[in-house]
A = this chain, B = another copy of it.
Amino acid sequence: MARRSDHAPEELKRLALEAAEVIALEEGLRGLTVRRVAERIGYAPGTIYNLFANLDDLIVQLNGMTLDALAVELGAAAGGSPATRPQRLVEAYFDFVESRPRLWSLLFEHRLPEGADLPDWYRPKLAALIGLVAEALEPLMPDRSAEARYAATVTMWAGLHGISTLAVSAKLTLVAETEPRQLGHLLVDRMLGNRDGTGPEPV
Protein backbone atom coordinates (compact mmCIF):
# COMPACT_ATOMS: atom_id res chain seq x y z
CA MET A 1 0.00 0.00 0.00
CA ALA A 2 2.77 2.43 0.80
CA ARG A 3 5.51 3.24 -1.68
CA ARG A 4 8.53 5.41 -1.64
CA SER A 5 10.24 7.77 -4.02
CA ASP A 6 7.86 7.29 -6.86
CA HIS A 7 8.62 10.93 -6.70
CA ALA A 8 10.92 12.87 -4.44
CA PRO A 9 9.03 14.86 -1.79
CA GLU A 10 9.69 18.16 -3.53
CA GLU A 11 8.57 16.70 -6.82
CA LEU A 12 5.42 15.42 -5.21
CA LYS A 13 4.64 18.81 -3.78
CA ARG A 14 5.09 20.35 -7.18
CA LEU A 15 2.76 17.76 -8.68
CA ALA A 16 0.11 18.46 -6.07
CA LEU A 17 0.29 22.19 -6.67
CA GLU A 18 0.05 21.71 -10.41
CA ALA A 19 -2.97 19.50 -9.94
CA ALA A 20 -4.53 22.11 -7.69
CA GLU A 21 -3.79 24.75 -10.29
CA VAL A 22 -5.63 22.82 -12.99
CA ILE A 23 -8.63 22.33 -10.73
CA ALA A 24 -8.63 26.01 -9.76
CA LEU A 25 -8.35 27.05 -13.40
CA GLU A 26 -11.34 24.96 -14.33
CA GLU A 27 -13.59 25.17 -11.31
CA GLY A 28 -12.29 27.74 -8.89
CA LEU A 29 -12.33 27.52 -5.13
CA ARG A 30 -15.50 25.47 -4.95
CA GLY A 31 -13.99 22.51 -6.79
CA LEU A 32 -10.68 22.62 -4.99
CA THR A 33 -10.79 19.82 -2.40
CA VAL A 34 -8.11 17.71 -0.80
CA ARG A 35 -9.58 14.54 -2.21
CA ARG A 36 -9.72 15.90 -5.74
CA VAL A 37 -6.09 16.99 -5.62
CA ALA A 38 -5.01 13.64 -4.20
CA GLU A 39 -6.98 11.70 -6.78
CA ARG A 40 -5.47 13.72 -9.60
CA ILE A 41 -1.91 12.82 -8.64
CA GLY A 42 -2.79 9.22 -7.82
CA TYR A 43 -2.25 9.37 -4.07
CA ALA A 44 -4.42 8.99 -1.00
CA PRO A 45 -5.94 12.05 0.70
CA GLY A 46 -3.71 11.56 3.72
CA THR A 47 -0.62 12.09 1.62
CA ILE A 48 -1.57 15.71 0.99
CA TYR A 49 -1.12 16.28 4.70
CA ASN A 50 2.45 15.12 4.47
CA LEU A 51 3.12 17.89 1.99
CA PHE A 52 0.96 20.70 3.36
CA ALA A 53 -0.25 21.66 6.80
CA ASN A 54 -3.83 21.68 5.52
CA LEU A 55 -5.94 22.80 2.58
CA ASP A 56 -5.51 26.47 3.46
CA ASP A 57 -1.76 26.06 3.31
CA LEU A 58 -2.00 24.41 -0.10
CA ILE A 59 -4.16 27.22 -1.44
CA VAL A 60 -1.86 29.93 -0.08
CA GLN A 61 1.08 28.26 -1.81
CA LEU A 62 -0.86 28.03 -5.03
CA ASN A 63 -1.66 31.72 -4.70
CA GLY A 64 2.05 32.35 -4.30
CA MET A 65 2.62 30.67 -7.65
CA THR A 66 -0.07 32.85 -9.21
CA LEU A 67 1.57 35.99 -7.84
CA ASP A 68 4.85 34.89 -9.38
CA ALA A 69 3.20 34.33 -12.74
CA LEU A 70 1.59 37.75 -12.57
CA ALA A 71 4.92 39.34 -11.70
CA VAL A 72 6.43 37.80 -14.83
CA GLU A 73 3.71 39.26 -17.05
CA LEU A 74 3.83 42.70 -15.46
CA GLY A 75 7.60 42.67 -15.57
CA ALA A 76 7.51 42.10 -19.30
CA ALA A 77 5.18 45.07 -19.74
CA ALA A 78 7.03 47.40 -17.39
CA GLY A 79 9.98 48.12 -19.69
CA GLY A 80 10.14 50.04 -22.93
CA SER A 81 9.14 53.62 -23.51
CA PRO A 82 7.92 55.17 -20.23
CA ALA A 83 5.16 57.07 -21.99
CA THR A 84 3.22 53.95 -22.93
CA ARG A 85 3.98 51.94 -19.83
CA PRO A 86 0.73 52.64 -18.00
CA GLN A 87 -1.32 51.41 -20.94
CA ARG A 88 0.81 48.34 -21.39
CA LEU A 89 0.67 47.50 -17.70
CA VAL A 90 -3.09 47.79 -17.65
CA GLU A 91 -3.35 45.59 -20.72
CA ALA A 92 -1.03 43.00 -19.20
CA TYR A 93 -3.00 43.00 -15.99
CA PHE A 94 -6.33 42.42 -17.65
CA ASP A 95 -4.85 39.90 -20.07
CA PHE A 96 -3.73 37.92 -17.06
CA VAL A 97 -7.02 38.16 -15.23
CA GLU A 98 -9.15 37.35 -18.24
CA SER A 99 -7.01 34.43 -19.34
CA ARG A 100 -7.42 32.67 -15.97
CA PRO A 101 -10.28 34.31 -14.10
CA ARG A 102 -10.87 31.50 -11.66
CA LEU A 103 -7.24 31.09 -10.73
CA TRP A 104 -6.87 34.82 -10.27
CA SER A 105 -10.06 34.95 -8.20
CA LEU A 106 -8.56 32.44 -5.84
CA LEU A 107 -6.04 35.09 -4.81
CA PHE A 108 -8.77 37.05 -3.11
CA GLU A 109 -11.67 34.68 -2.73
CA HIS A 110 -9.72 32.56 -0.32
CA ARG A 111 -9.48 33.85 3.21
CA LEU A 112 -7.57 32.27 6.05
CA PRO A 113 -9.55 31.42 9.18
CA GLU A 114 -9.80 33.99 11.95
CA GLY A 115 -6.46 34.68 13.54
CA ALA A 116 -4.31 32.90 10.97
CA ASP A 117 -1.82 35.15 9.21
CA LEU A 118 -0.37 34.85 5.76
CA PRO A 119 3.09 33.24 5.82
CA ASP A 120 6.18 35.40 5.94
CA TRP A 121 7.20 34.76 2.37
CA TYR A 122 3.94 36.24 1.11
CA ARG A 123 4.70 39.85 1.93
CA PRO A 124 7.91 40.23 -0.11
CA LYS A 125 6.21 38.59 -3.05
CA LEU A 126 3.46 41.16 -2.98
CA ALA A 127 5.82 44.00 -2.23
CA ALA A 128 7.96 43.04 -5.22
CA LEU A 129 4.92 43.21 -7.45
CA ILE A 130 3.95 46.68 -6.29
CA GLY A 131 7.55 47.84 -6.27
CA LEU A 132 7.97 46.76 -9.86
CA VAL A 133 5.02 48.85 -10.96
CA ALA A 134 5.93 51.82 -8.79
CA GLU A 135 9.40 51.89 -10.28
CA ALA A 136 8.09 51.59 -13.82
CA LEU A 137 5.76 54.53 -13.30
CA GLU A 138 8.28 56.76 -11.57
CA PRO A 139 9.18 58.77 -14.69
CA LEU A 140 5.51 59.57 -15.17
CA MET A 141 5.14 61.21 -11.77
CA PRO A 142 8.23 63.41 -11.66
CA ASP A 143 6.57 66.12 -9.59
CA ARG A 144 5.60 63.82 -6.72
CA SER A 145 7.50 62.61 -3.70
CA ALA A 146 8.47 58.97 -3.40
CA GLU A 147 5.74 58.48 -0.80
CA ALA A 148 3.13 60.09 -3.01
CA ARG A 149 4.21 57.95 -5.96
CA TYR A 150 4.01 54.82 -3.89
CA ALA A 151 0.59 55.74 -2.53
CA ALA A 152 -0.63 56.43 -6.05
CA THR A 153 0.68 53.07 -7.24
CA VAL A 154 -0.95 51.17 -4.41
CA THR A 155 -4.20 52.96 -5.11
CA MET A 156 -4.05 52.10 -8.79
CA TRP A 157 -3.23 48.52 -7.98
CA ALA A 158 -6.11 48.25 -5.53
CA GLY A 159 -8.36 49.94 -8.04
CA LEU A 160 -7.51 47.50 -10.82
CA HIS A 161 -8.05 44.74 -8.33
CA GLY A 162 -11.48 46.11 -7.50
CA ILE A 163 -12.51 46.46 -11.13
CA SER A 164 -11.34 42.93 -11.86
CA THR A 165 -13.03 41.23 -8.93
CA LEU A 166 -16.31 42.90 -9.74
CA ALA A 167 -15.92 41.93 -13.38
CA VAL A 168 -15.04 38.33 -12.64
CA SER A 169 -17.91 37.90 -10.21
CA ALA A 170 -20.28 39.34 -12.81
CA LYS A 171 -21.21 42.22 -10.54
CA LEU A 172 -19.75 44.87 -12.79
CA THR A 173 -21.85 44.03 -15.84
CA LEU A 174 -24.88 44.59 -13.62
CA VAL A 175 -24.17 48.29 -13.52
CA ALA A 176 -21.81 49.17 -16.37
CA GLU A 177 -21.64 48.40 -20.07
CA THR A 178 -18.10 49.71 -20.28
CA GLU A 179 -15.42 47.05 -20.61
CA PRO A 180 -13.53 46.51 -17.33
CA ARG A 181 -10.30 47.05 -19.22
CA GLN A 182 -11.42 50.49 -20.30
CA LEU A 183 -12.30 51.46 -16.75
CA GLY A 184 -8.80 50.34 -15.85
CA HIS A 185 -7.30 52.70 -18.38
CA LEU A 186 -9.52 55.49 -17.14
CA LEU A 187 -8.41 54.90 -13.57
CA VAL A 188 -4.72 54.83 -14.36
CA ASP A 189 -4.80 57.84 -16.65
CA ARG A 190 -6.60 59.89 -14.06
CA MET A 191 -4.36 58.76 -11.24
CA LEU A 192 -1.35 59.76 -13.30
CA GLY A 193 -2.84 63.14 -13.98
CA ASN A 194 -4.38 62.88 -17.45
CA ARG A 195 -7.75 64.43 -18.10
CA ASP A 196 -9.13 61.84 -20.47
CA GLY A 197 -8.87 58.07 -20.57
CA THR A 198 -7.89 57.71 -24.17
CA GLY A 199 -4.16 57.70 -24.42
CA PRO A 200 -0.69 58.28 -23.06
CA GLU A 201 0.47 61.44 -21.33
CA PRO A 202 0.28 64.34 -23.79
CA VAL A 203 3.44 66.28 -24.66
Q: Which residues of A contact B (CB under 8 A)?
A: 27-30, 105, 108-109, 111, 113-114, 117-118, 122-123, 126-127, 130, 150-152, 154-155, 158-163, 165-166, 169-172, 174-176, 178, 182-183, 186-187, 190-191, 193, 195, 197
Contacts and interface: CB of A to CB of B under 8 A. Distances in A.
A160 B176 CA distance: 16
Contacts of A151: 176, 178, 182-183, 186, 197
Point out which of A130, A152, A178, A190 has the most chain B C-beta atoms below 10 A from its C-beta. Answer: A190
Contacts of A158: 159, 162-163, 166, 172, 183
A159 B130 contact: no
B174 A154 contact: no
Contact of A187 (B155, B170, B176): B155
Interface pairs A-B: 8 shortest CB-CB:
A162-B162, A159-B159, A158-B162, A161-B162, A158-B163, A154-B176, A123-B174, A155-B183
A154 B183 contact: yes
Given A122-B174, A159-B187, A190-B191, 12 more contacts: A28-B111, A108-B166, A108-B169, A109-B109, A118-B174, A127-B175, A152-B186, A154-B172, A155-B163, A159-B163, A161-B165, A165-B165
A130 B159 CA distance: 16
Contacts of A27: 114
A57 to B, nearest CB: 16
A117 to B, nearest CB: 7
Contacts of A175: 123, 126-127, 130, 154
A150 B108 CA distance: 27
A27 B111 CA distance: 12
Nearest to A122: B174
